[in-house]
Amino acid sequence: MNTNQNKTTKVFDLGLIDYKQAWDYQTNLFQSILDVKSQNRSLAENEQQQTKNYLLFCEHPHVFTLGKSGDEKNLLVKKEALYTIGATYYHINRGGDITYHGPGQLVVYPILDLENFFTDIHKYMRLLEESVIQTLAEFNIQAGRINGLTGVWIDFNDESKARKICALGVKTSRWVSLHGLAFNINTQLDYFNHIVPCGIDDKAVTSLEKELGKQQNVDQVKSILKQKLAGLFGMEIIT
């Protein structure tokens, strides 16, 4: 157990940002934490620096991303035709298969040294899901998990009606996290027709807007989700 735990977490709201730009941004933060951890290995415990934690909130222009273990066949539009729908494509280093990001979808990238909180990847994934489940409860929507599938689902107890409202895909190295979650708020859901979302071809996707029948305030959802993440992880949020 790390006796020099730092639960202070800096929040950045990056707004609408190009996927590659956000990827580079989070990768730089991720590497800065790894660098401190590397330096600490050669220092006495009383000389070691605390590692930092970050939460990045953003939205992306239309983009499809494929995880390292994903199947490119799950992209149903030819790469050279992506420009016709105003989208880009990246094969990246997170877990999971293919997903879509776009305007109206709230993306959260926690860049955390999990040794500041707990060293359990399964618990980490479940708490990310729980933060969204608790956020949806504030809108009187009951959501949950489906055994064997990551993410957050509506009508999770009825597989014929189940629809995904939040996807997860993460990477960790030496307990530092990268990538995160994508929560459909006012998302243009027709873009999911161009992929087999997360490699699952028999489940629908949905959004908060679709479930509630009207466009939602993304900033309000962001504020609630930030509070839920802070509570579940025991973070001290700074902005």
Do residues 92 and 23 make contact, with C-beta atoms less than 8 angstroms apart? yes
- Residue position matching structure tokens 């735990």: 5
Catalytic residue among 22, 107, 176, 198: 198
Nearest C-alpha neighbor of 58 from the set 222, 230, 168:
222
Distance of alpha carbon 79 from its chain centroid, rounded? Answer: 24
CA atoms within 13 A on the CB side of 82: 15
| C-alpha radius of gyration, the chain, whole number | 18
The sign one gets for the Cα dihedral 170, 61, 100, 73 is negative
Tell me which residue of 41, 82, 38 sits closest to 64, measured CA to CA. Answer: 82
CA 153 – CA 132 distance, rounded (Å): 10
Q: Across-strand partners of 164?
A: 153, 205
* Rounded Cα gap, residues 182 and 199, in angstroms: 16
Asked about 198 being catalytic, the answer comes back as: yes
Structure tokens at 198: 């997360």
Q: Please choose, from the candidates 21, 218, 235, 31, the residue with its C-alpha nearest in 3D space to the C-alpha of residue 128.
A: 235
Catalytic residue IDs: 198
